[in-house]
Amino acid sequence: MSEIKAAITAVHGYVPDHVLSNADLEKMVDTNDEWIKSRTGVSERRILKEGASSDLGVEAVKGLCEKRGIDPSEIDMLICATATPDMLFPATANIIMDKIGAVNAFGYDVMAACSGFLYATVTASKYIESGSHKKIVVVGADKMSSIVDYTDRTTCILFGDGAGAILLEPTEDGDGVIDSVLRSDGSGRDHLYQKAGGSLYPATHETIDNKEHFIYQSGQAVFKFAVTKMADVAEEVMKRNNLTGDDIAWLVPHQANRRILEAAANRIDLDIDKVMININKFGNTTNGTIPLCLWEWESKLKKGDNLIMATFGGGFTWGSIYLKWAYDN
Which residues are annotated as catalytic? 114, 254, 284
Among 210, 182, 187, CA closest to 197: 210
How far is the first Cα of the chain from the last one, in angstroms, to the nearest whole number? Answer: 28
Q: Are 119 and 112 in contact (CB under 8 A)?
A: yes
- Exposed/middle/buried for residue 195 (C-beta within 10 Å: 0-12, 13-18, 19+): middle
Reported for 265-269, long-range contacts at CB under 8 A and 24+ positions apart, including other chains, are 266/231, 267/231, 267/234, 267/235, 268/231, 268/234, 268/235, 268/238, 268/308, 269/244, 269/245
Cα–Cα dist 160/157, whole Å: 9
CB of 142 to ligand UT7, least distance (A): 11
What are the percentages of helix, strand and coil residues in the chain, rounded to 5?
40, 25, 35
Q: Which residues 105-124 are close enough to bind ligand UT7 by CB under 6 A?
A: 114
CB of 36 to ligand UT7, least distance (A): 6
Applying CB under 6 A, does 197 fall inside the site for ligand UT7? no
Nearer to ligand UT7, 6 or 114 (CB): 114
Q: Which residues 204-263 are close enough to bind ligand UT7 by CB under 6 A?
A: 219-220, 222-223, 226, 256-257, 260
Q: Which residues 42-71 are close enough to bind ligand UT7 by CB under 6 A?
A: none
Cα–Cα dist 321/324, whole Å: 10
Q: Which residues 125-164 are close enough to bind ligand UT7 by CB under 6 A?
A: 153-154, 157
Nearer to ligand UT7, 167 or 256 (CB): 256
Nearest residue to ligand UT7 by CB is: 219
Nearer to ligand UT7, 215 or 323 (CB): 215
Cα–Cα dist 21/244, whole Å: 38
Nearer to ligand UT7, 128 or 144 (CB): 144
Amino acid found at 194: Q
CB of 71 to ligand UT7, least distance (A): 35
Applying CB under 6 A, does 35 fall inside the site for ligand UT7? yes
Nearer to ligand UT7, 176 or 319 (CB): 319
Cα–Cα dist 204/117, whole Å: 31
Cα–Cα dist 133/6, whole Å: 10
Cα–Cα dist 57/121, whole Å: 15
CB of 192 to ligand UT7, least distance (A): 6
CB of 319 to ligand UT7, least distance (A): 13
Count residues contacting ligand UT7 (CB under 6 A)?
20
Among 37, 39, 211, 267, binds ligand UT7 (CB under 6 A): 39
Among 107, 176, 291, 313, binds ligand UT7 (CB under 6 A): 313
CB of 156 to ligand UT7, least distance (A): 8
Among 22, 82, 94, 284, binds ligand UT7 (CB under 6 A): 284
- H-helix or E-strand containing 129? helix 116-130
Instruction: Tell me which residues touch ligand UT7 (CB under 6 A).
Output: 31, 35-36, 39-40, 114, 153-154, 157, 219-220, 222-223, 226, 256-257, 260, 284, 312-313
